[in-house]
Amino acid sequence: MSRTRNDDIAVIGWSVSPMERHTAKSETQMLLEVVSGAVDDAGITRADVDFTCAGSCDYVAGVPFSFVQNTDAIGAWPPKSDSHVEMDGAWALYESWVRLLLGDMDIALAMGSGRSSTSDPAILYPMEMDPFYLAPLGADHANLSAMQARTLIDSGMLTERQMAEIAVRTRRDAKSNPLAQVSGDFDVEELLAADYVNAPLRLHDMPPITDGACAVVIARADKARELCENPVWITGFAHYTELHNPGMRDLRSSTAATLAAKAAGVDEAPIEVAELQASFTHEEPLLVEAMGLGPEVSVNPSGGPLAANPIMATGLVRVVEAARQIRVHGRHRTLAHSSSGPCLQQNLVCIMEGD
């Protein structure tokens, strides 16, 4: 397929930081490195970037206005057209993409960063829930996700063994991902013999705690062609949310993921690889079904969030891994997904294609 429409926008460069259980680096340092890496990869300098947008979270950082420091990393002098979302970097990419659609700018840079290692997720994440009915009970993502997993098990859609098999597969796949934090060859029986952490979830069902950052450069078609031999075209991009309280949702499905995948054009042509922000094993089959992905689709060949989960960048890393499948592994059409909120409340899908 050849592209001539200037409205087309492509990924032309990226960089992902090391994925670490604890980093000594600040978010700004991590961002400085990945921004340098991404603009180098795209064959440009920071000065060539017309628009920047970062995704990060004050509560993850433990400081109000934490993103202000990160302005040091983007090269905002002379002053830059710039924005920030209190969301995963995948949504920063969405804002950047919308900004380029307006046509008066050619190159944008999206970032995501977070240091989850600095606090205890069990203490932090209740703050994200309904402030009257959920937060005061100390309900965090793991507690609520475990209930969603049991719903799937009770409905006969999934077994704990199948969940362990997903963990084994992703950890094995992660062996070929130099950035993976958790990888290796594991035995299903051995995993199932472990104690529950949040029954029915065991440690292997849950993501690691990861510090990391990611940056992605996108460009409008003419500029992308000029700068890049193998641009990765964004052909569909959408995100949707559901109502908040998991007790008021049908936890056997993910309406928002279905809507996002449809709006991004999932069924317009075959998808070869899907990089999903399935942070818990049971979320993978749930998302696969919700998005209508067939058995031929390779899911999370990078190992996914179970291999490395840099909160606020995990979704943007999915975009990089899905783009990598096109640029490096010669795939034609791939899908990246990001999610936020309890039990997959909010979902984003970005579909990319090679030439």
Contacting other proteins within 189-228 (CB under 8 A): 195-201, 208
Q: Which of 79, 83, 101 is nearest to 91 (CA)?
A: 83
From candidates 139, 167, 264, 297, binder to other proteins by CB under 8 A: 139
Contacting other proteins within 43-72 (CB under 8 A): 46, 52, 57-59, 62-65, 67-69, 71-72
Nearer to other proteins, 14 or 91 (CB): 91
The letter for the amino acid at 229 is E
Specify the residue for token string 């993850």: 60
Q: How far is the CB of 1 from other proteins (least distance, A)?
A: 21
Contacting other proteins within 287-316 (CB under 8 A): none
**Residue 157 lies near other proteins (rule: CB under 8 A):** no
Q: How far is the CB of 326 from other proteins (least distance, A)?
A: 24
Cα dist from 74 to 33, 94, 139, 259, whole Å: 10, 18, 36, 34
Which DSSP category does 233 fall into?
E
Q: Dihedral sign for Cα 96, 100, 101, 104, please.
A: positive
Cα dist from 56 to 53, 147, 241, 273, 344, whole Å: 10, 27, 19, 27, 19
Count residues near other proteins (CB under 8 A): 121
Contacting other proteins within 230-269 (CB under 8 A): 238-248, 251, 255-256, 259
Choose the stretch contacting other proteins; rule: CB under 8 A; options: 157-165, 221-229, 286-294, 334-342: 334-342
Contacting other proteins within 81-100 (CB under 8 A): 81-87, 91, 94-95, 98-99
Query: Between β-strands 51-55 and 273-275, what pairing exists: parallel, antiparallel or unpaired?
Result: unpaired
Choose the stretch contacting other proteins; rule: CB under 8 A; options: 274-282, 292-300, 325-333, 336-344: 336-344
Contacting other proteins within 12-31 (CB under 8 A): 18-26, 28-29
Contacting other proteins within 160-179 (CB under 8 A): 175
**Residue 109 lies near other proteins (rule: CB under 8 A):** no
Q: Which of 49, 335, 51, 355 is nearest to 232 (CA)?
A: 355
298 Cβ contact partners less than 8 Å away, ≥ 6 residues apart: 272, 273, 274
